[in-house]
Amino acid sequence: MKKIILNIVLAVLCLNFAAHAQDKTPNIAALKIGDKVPDITISNILNYKDVSGKPTASAKISDFKGKLLILDFWATWCSPCIAMIPKMDSLQKEFAGKVQFLPVSYQSEKDIKSFLARRQKKVSEPSVLPEVVNDFSLKSLFPHNTLPHYVWIDASGKVAGITGYETVNKANIVKILSDNQPEMPEKSDFKIPYNRDEALFVGNNGGSGKNIIYHSMLTGYANGISPGTYTPLPDSNKNQRIRVINGEILSLFQLAYRDLGRFNRNRIEVKSKDSLILSYHFKEPELEWFKKHSYCYDLLLPPGMTVNKYNYFRDDLQRIFPGYEVKIEQQVRHYLALQRTSDINKLRSLNGPQIWKQDQYGLTMHYQNWKMFYWTLDDYFFQKSPLPIIDETGLKGAIDIELNADMSNINSLNNALKNYDLKIVEKLGSIAIMVISDRPDTH
């Protein structure tokens, strides 16, 4: 399918040129594949012992000479990072003495220890890996914009690879240890100037975008910008906006019908012959697929317009992708119902401050809207559930809630929810389903 660029812009022709402050960077050059890694001291290492077996909180790069050192830049909020922990533990044990995995985080010692302690209660074996916390120096050597981020340093101290998590496997490790460089795609993770509150791709996303009154734009894949969506709440004094970065066609339809319901993947039925084009199917390299089949969309409406911005979005998609027909149908299906077990509201919050913390093993919200809690379950913790989760509580307004549980495990979550007279149960009933099919006479 040809990449389409549709750009309708009404703007006041006034350009403002402004100098932009540069990010502060250390006086050290970023390294690339083939470079020799300087023998810096790595500080703030947890659970680490030197060659003599003595516990220590620091090490030099040269201490790992003769081994394959794999730096794992991660964070506790990063789901793919957490999913890699048991795999790295297994590989570390298998290649003990030859390979050293070294997780690296910018987060504090307190945050990392707290996460690992909560994780240890949920898994059979704790992680065997050391942890670098409060990191700045290693990220300065290997700057990146997305996580997880892996840096492979060979036995001679040279950078052998900079990759994503897909390449971290036994086969590639064996090849490097045998001085047989594997074919590992380099992770393209450079950062370009980007401000989500400015017009996308106009004036290099700089000052010239501030005077745009209305535009609707669709482009192909944008390299260097993290994927995501941005739909700020309506404000009579501001422009209405919808933005999608590097989204699948299926993701575009999902968001375009957001005002009619929350249609995550478990509430979508695809009947189109183009199912391998509509969403990523894991049958080819992820980056290559997204470069061919993902899009960026940006809609900007004038302040004060009393219109439904999603209607504009749907109209654009119908014009741009005329071969697809989207309907919302009521179907009888099994689903997960979030319910109250009493009429007592044990979540009501009276005042701030606003707090929101979450990871795989817990969630804390203070003075947050109830719908944000439900959306977090639906969009994040249960996004891969085969059954959709439906809010049947009728709750509204600000809440306080603190859960210590495996947030994707229903039994664990229900055990924590009972303190608030809530539960999740499986039901059979009629729910709204998005059905995407081929429009007659177009395929």
pLDDT > 90 in the chain, percent: 75
Assigned token pair, 370: 């109830």
Query: Which alpha helices (H) appear in 59-108, and where do they start and end?
Result: 79-94
Mean pLDDT of 427-436: 98
Percentages (nearest 5) of helix, strand, coil residues in the chain: 25, 30, 45
Q: Which domains does the chain have, with CATH numbers?
A: 6-16+193-321 (no CATH), 41-177 (3.40.30.10), 332-435 (no CATH)
Residue that wins the pLDDT comparison between 50 and 389: 389
Assigned token pair, 172: 């590639």
Give the pLDDT confidence of 313-348 residue by residue, as tens digits. 999 999 999 999 999 999 999 999 999 999 999 999
Mean pLDDT of 84-100: 96
Supply the pLDDT for residue 28: 66
User: What residues form DSSP beta bridges with 337?
Assistant: 390, 425
Supply the pLDDT for residue 206: 54
Supply the pLDDT for residue 22: 28
The secondary structure of 11-36 as a DSSP string is E---------PPPP--SSPPP-TTPB
Q: Is a pLDDT exceeding 60 seen at residue 443? A: no
Longest dimension (CA), the chain: 74
Mean pLDDT of 8-13: 32
Mean pLDDT of 150-166: 97
- pLDDT confidence tier of residue 351, bands split at 50, 70 and 90: confident
Q: Is a pLDDT exceeding 50 seen at residue 360? A: yes
In angstroms, rounded to a whole number, what is the distance separating the alpha carbons of residues 407 and 393?
19
Give the pLDDT confidence of 31-87 residue by residue, as tens digits. 999 999 999 999 999 999 988 889 999 999 999 999 999 999 999 999 999 999 999
Q: How far is CA 188 from CA 44, 166, 320, in A?
A: 28, 14, 29
Supply the pLDDT for residue 4: 41
Give the pLDDT confidence of 286-312 residue by residue, as tens digits. 889 999 999 999 999 998 888 899 999
205: left (phi over 0), alpha (psi -120 to 50) or beta: left
Supply the pLDDT for residue 283: 82
Residues 6+ positions from 345 with CB-CB distance below 8 Å: 395
Give the pLDDT confidence of 242-256 residue by residue, as tens digits. 999 999 999 999 999
Q: How far is CA 372 from CA 77, 151, 368, 377, in A?
A: 17, 36, 7, 9
Assigned token pair, 331: 């179907």
Mean pLDDT of 106-113: 97
Give the torsion through C-alpha atoms of 287, 293, 294, 299, to 10 deg. Answer: 160
Instruction: Select from 148, 119, 31, 439 the least CA-distant residue to 273.
Output: 439
- pLDDT confidence tier of residue 239, bands split at 50, 70 and 90: confident
Assigned token pair, 231: 């739909």
Supply the pLDDT for residue 305: 83
- pLDDT confidence tier of residue 200, bands split at 50, 70 and 90: confident
Q: Is a pLDDT exceeding 60 seen at residue 25? A: no
- pLDDT confidence tier of residue 23, bands split at 50, 70 and 90: very low
Supply the pLDDT for residue 341: 98
Helix (H, G, I), strand (E, B) or coil at 404: coil
In angstroms, rounded to a whole number, what is the distance separating the alpha carbons of residues 285 and 298?
26
Supply the pLDDT for residue 442: 67
Supply the pLDDT for residue 236: 64
Q: How far is CA 17 from CA 14, 20, 211, in A?
A: 10, 10, 13
Asked if residue 434 lies in contact with residue 267, where contact means CB atoms within 8 angstroms, the answer is yes
As a whole number, the mean pLDDT across the chain is: 89
